[in-house]
């Protein structure tokens, strides 16, 4: 037989002070005269008293679907249907003291130690604290705290965090982990949709700050990997304050002659030096001389100058009459009023270049006998200098070289 639902009423409890199978430390009464709840303590139970409560009897069961014990308030404001208080200092994670403790001993199913729901606009479970933790969950196998948004529409979050703090290192949501295992993370975001769009992790800043920031003392501050698409994609300019290392480089634009169907790609010009290149055309005067004026910062930035000259006025001798001084140099042509094409290179000598000079040959050190691209040498993926989660031997570059049929 289904046991009756018990609705706790303060006046009735005062008249009938006998042991209960379920303890309610403080109860908000039904509304009297004004729409607010009244709270009182059960007879014989005072603040801070150490009282041994009667245990639930053996075989005591409840099959009610709408509550075996209900503490209800009809008021507004800060009225509460049930209040649990604890002023003791708990022993930590093992068995913390609690104003209200919920336990679920079911070995299967979706039971809950404490379950909260709301009819609209409020909170199913609400926790607040002036200094500690408003809501705290611990689990040895499942989730310590889980939040779900089950509707297929709407923009509400499964878990929402907010912090009004203006202090450094403040966080609305914070996750910490000590594992170094594959895919372990302090915060993990995943989008299970199969199509394009959406994000696994999304960061946004409304001002001039940073949308997503990563920091690592010795590892990678930010790392991306995709076996079939771009590992990183930026819509806008990218600024690197430091040295950019890469296996190759290229520009990719819409093909000027067929922008709707083709890309045009050019490789970067590589050099073992930190070289700058300058060039132009100049016409000599009636005496066969021309002075080329360079930027006023040219000699402050460059050293070790090299020259190339080509006559555009027919076959003749052209030469450098005066080398670079005061950010200019002089060209002389055998024929007067001749057009000459010139090119000058210089090696950077600014403070940053001097402090971070490129080392042409670098020993691999601890990565000895490993490869940046092991598949190109017939080696297994385990021989890669770095193996990121999800990497496969099928990883390939998205910069595809044009075939002969597309070359112009």
CA nearest neighbour of 187 among 212, 156, 168: 212
CA nearest neighbour of 386 among 270, 224, 233, 228: 224
Whether the CB-CB separation of 321 and 332 falls below 8 Å is answered with: yes
Rounded to the nearest 10 degrees, how much is the dihedral formed by the CA atoms of 272, 276, 280, 284? -90
Residues 6+ apart with CB under 8 A from 365: none
Q: Is the pTM of this model over 0.75?
A: no
Burial of 280 (0-12, 13-18, 19+ CB in 10 A): exposed
Q: Which CATH class is domain 275-355?
A: mainly beta
pLDDT at 346: 97
Phi–psi pair at 324, nearest 5 degrees: -65, 125
pLDDT at 37: 40
Residues in the chain: 408
Terminal CA-CA length for the chain: 88
> Where in the chain are all domains bearing CATH 2.60.40?
275-355
Whether the CB-CB separation of 319 and 310 falls below 8 Å is answered with: no
Residues 6+ apart with CB under 8 A from 336: 284, 285, 286, 287, 288
pLDDT at 385: 86
pLDDT at 41: 44
pLDDT at 76: 60
Q: What is the pLDDT along the chain (408 residues), one digit of tens a residue?
A: 444 444 444 334 333 433 333 333 333 333 333 444 444 444 444 444 444 444 444 445 555 555 566 666 665 666 666 677 776 665 555 556 677 777 777 777 667 777 777 766 677 787 777 777 777 788 777 788 888 888 888 888 888 888 888 898 888 888 888 988 877 888 888 888 888 888 889 999 999 999 999 998 888 899 888 888 888 989 899 999 988 888 889 999 999 999 999 999 999 988 999 999 999 999 999 999 999 999 999 999 999 999 999 999 999 999 999 999 999 999 999 999 999 999 999 999 999 999 999 999 989 887 778 898 888 899 888 888 887 766 766 554 444 444 434 444
pLDDT at 95: 57
């Amino acid at each position: 037989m289904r046991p009756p639902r018990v609705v706790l009423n303060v006046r009735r409890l005062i008249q009938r002070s006998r042991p209960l199978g379920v303890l309610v430390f403080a109860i908000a009464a039904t509304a009297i005269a004004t729409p607010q709840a009244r709270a009182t303590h059960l007879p014989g139970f005072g603040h801070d008293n150490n009282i041994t409560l009667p245990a639930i009897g053996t075989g005591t069961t409840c099959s009610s679907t709408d509550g075996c014990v209900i503490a209800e308030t009809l008021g507004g404001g800060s009225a509460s249907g049930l209040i649990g208080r604890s002023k003791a200092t708990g022993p930590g994670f093992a068995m913390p003291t609690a104003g209200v403790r919920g336990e679920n001993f079911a070995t299967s199913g979706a039971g809950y130690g404490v379950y909260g729901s709301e009819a609209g606009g409020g909170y199913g479970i609400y926790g607040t604290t002036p200094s500690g933790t408003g809501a705290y969950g611990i689990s040895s196998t499942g989730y310590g705290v889980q939040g779900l948004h089950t509707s297929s529409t709407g923009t509400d979050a499964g878990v929402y965090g907010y912090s009004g703090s203006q202090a450094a290192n403040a966080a609305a949501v914070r996750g910490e982990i000590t594992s170094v295992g594959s895919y372990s993370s302090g915060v993990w975001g995943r989008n299970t949709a199969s199509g394009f769009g959406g994000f696994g992790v999304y960061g946004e800043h409304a001002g001039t700050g940073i949308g997503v920031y990563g920091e690592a003392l010795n590892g990678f501050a930010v790392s991306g990997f995709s076996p079939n698409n771009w590992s990183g994609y930026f819509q806008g300019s990218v600024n690197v304050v430091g040295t950019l290392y890469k296996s190759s480089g290229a520009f990719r634009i819409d093909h000027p002659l067929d922008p709707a169907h083709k890309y045009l790609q050019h490789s970067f010009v590589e050099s073992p030096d930190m070289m700058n290149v300058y060039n132009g055309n100049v016409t000599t005067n009636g005496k066969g001389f021309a002075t080329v004026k360079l930027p006023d910062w040219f000699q402050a930035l460059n050293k070790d100058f090299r020259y190339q000259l080509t006559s555009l006025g027919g076959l003749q001798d052209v030469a450098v009459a005066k080398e670079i001084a005061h950010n200019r140099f002089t060209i002389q042509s055998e024929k007067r009023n001749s057009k000459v094409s010139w090119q000058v290179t210089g090696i950077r000598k600014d403070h940053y270049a001097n402090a971070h000079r490129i080392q042409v040959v670098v020993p691999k050190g601890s990565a000895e006998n490993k490869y940046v691209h092991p598949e190109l040498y017939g080696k297994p993926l385990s021989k890669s200098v770095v193996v990121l989660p999800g990497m496969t031997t099928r990883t390939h570059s998205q910069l595809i070289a044009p075939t002969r049929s597309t070359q112009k």
